[in-house]
Chain A
């Protein structure tokens, strides 16, 4: 246990001082603010002229901007760009050390391979949890301000709804982050890992869904892929954002989606751990 604590402290130090970590976190917050609040608020304010508000009723736009909608709004970006960002984080955190040679150094210092790599997994898990909690705090603050500005009642969401939203965010981002870690360890190259991971998350799953329309029986597979499960869990939250956000699905029930996300999360993390423990570091 002390070994895992030491590894965790070591990883906290090196990931905290890594500019890439903060760039990715900053990009997530910027995208979250832009797509959940800034663009929708602009559309709402200018809705009577032109723009997307022609298709979305202004009342629905406003509802999505209020504190009550935070549990679904804060996670609507997680299946697609949120997932992509934490996938990059996971792939870089796990994969960069092969090119730098730092894994080689760390594994001759650390308390054994499993415990050493466990530190990385723990810190990434903490990062994902912290990221989701901070996103909810930020979105609650922004939406409360918007509600005040628009003379709307500041109705905070129920604790249950918040917990459900936070849990959804952690599960979806955690799964994608673990996927990044696994690809990073598999490829031993951050560039290849990030590239392949993004192609999968952003392109391949969508293409496969297209193919599934042509080939009977393939849909059973494509309906249970990581991206679909993530999108379905977020879609199951419903909310004002509905299924407008890219990547959000209503294919699986929330129970099935949770099962598959947990399965993928454990599979990816354990896969990375097993590879790291067993494989030659040449």
Chain B
């Protein structure tokens, strides 16, 4: 099952003199949960809007389910929640979904099924404007699920939710992912992506920095080294593994070195350190977290202050 569901080819979008999305080429395969990871304002939403046909690319192109984004046969097979839920505030949750069902030309019976799925059935008769943010987001997911689409695009579904709401949404995402649909899930939260996604695309500053499985992106393990004196240890480690592969990790009074290399380097490294008269206190292998991968790629922390994601 390696059918490609979404393929973008050097997709770009320019707003004035700002390049919001810069030559993004990504691939989403059938049946996978694809995490689209990046800080706020990285271009996630704009990319997804182009994939959904809501926004025209300035250049490049996207193919969704073998056709142009936004074309009627594609829209019919795609469900989406983009940048927060958007519904008629004066209608009940159920009536909002009934309107959407009519647009899709699907039966009203599907409405109660998706309300059940997002745990909103008992509140389905309440006006949308009285819903909490978490309920509104869940209704957005319900609308996306309506009509049992082949591709589900969920843009930051946990954005703005309180911890309880986030937990509910995560459980729902795990449930949806288990359903076998192809899902594109964008997020600025690593935990979310790490938990449910098969493959991840990392985007920052409008550019797709990397794409691969979570394991691939985390890559090889690193070696953590505590030794005295630190500057001498640093010099030795840099000689052994290359200048760029070593960084000083600040841990208060207890600074350490991180050497980006596999465990196979450890014997050679310790021999050289001891030979140079360095006191080796600790050598361990550590796995990089996705957060560190992200930091290394972008030089910016994932959880930077919320900028404009629009």
Taking beta carbons and an 8 Å cutoff, which residues of A are in contact with B?
2-3, 6-7, 9-10, 13-14, 17-19, 97, 100-113, 115-116, 119, 280-282
Contacts and interface: CB of A to CB of B under 8 A. Distances in A.
A112 B72 CA distance: 5
Nearest to A9: B102
B55 A282 contact: yes
Given A105-B100, A111-B103, A281 B49 contact: yes
B261 interface: no
B86 A103 contact: yes
A273 to B, nearest CB: 15
A109 B100 contact: yes
Given A101-B84, A282-B55, A282-B310, A6 B102 contact: yes
A101 B45 CA distance: 14
Interface of B: 46, 49, 52-56, 70-72, 75-76, 78-80, 82-91, 95, 98-100, 102-105, 140, 143-144, 146-147, 310
A13 B75 contact: no
Contact of B103 (A17, A100, A109, A280): A109
A107 B103 CA distance: 9
A10 B102 contact: yes
A108 B100 CA distance: 10
Given A13-B99, A105-B143, A3 B72 contact: yes
B86 A280 contact: no
B99 A14 contact: yes
Closest 10 CB pairs of A and B: A101-B86, A10-B102, A112-B72, A6-B105, A110-B103, A108-B80, A281-B54, A280-B55, A9-B102, A10-B103
Contacts of B84: 101
Contacts of B79: 108-109
Contacts, number: 104
B28 to A, nearest CB: 16
Contacts of B102: 6-7, 9-10, 13
A280 B54 contact: yes
Contacts of A110: 75, 103-104
Given A108-B78, A109-B75, 8 more contacts: A6-B104, A9-B102, A100-B89, A112-B75, A113-B70, A115-B72, A116-B103, A280-B55
Contact of B91 (A17, A104, A280): A17
Nearest to B95: A17
A112 B103 contact: no
A276 B85 CA distance: 20
A17 B102 CA distance: 15
A17 B91 CA distance: 7
B289 to A, nearest CB: 34
22 contacts: A3-B105, A13-B98, A14-B91, A17-B90, A17-B91, A18-B88, A100-B87, A101-B83, A105-B100, A106-B100, A108-B52, A108-B75, A108-B80, A108-B144, A109-B100, A109-B104, A111-B72, A111-B76, A112-B72, A119-B103, A281-B55, A282-B310
Nearest to B50: A280
Contacts of B52: 108
Contact of B82 (A9, A10, A104): A104
A116 to B, nearest CB: 7
Contacts of B54: 104, 107-108, 280-282
A102 to B, nearest CB: 5
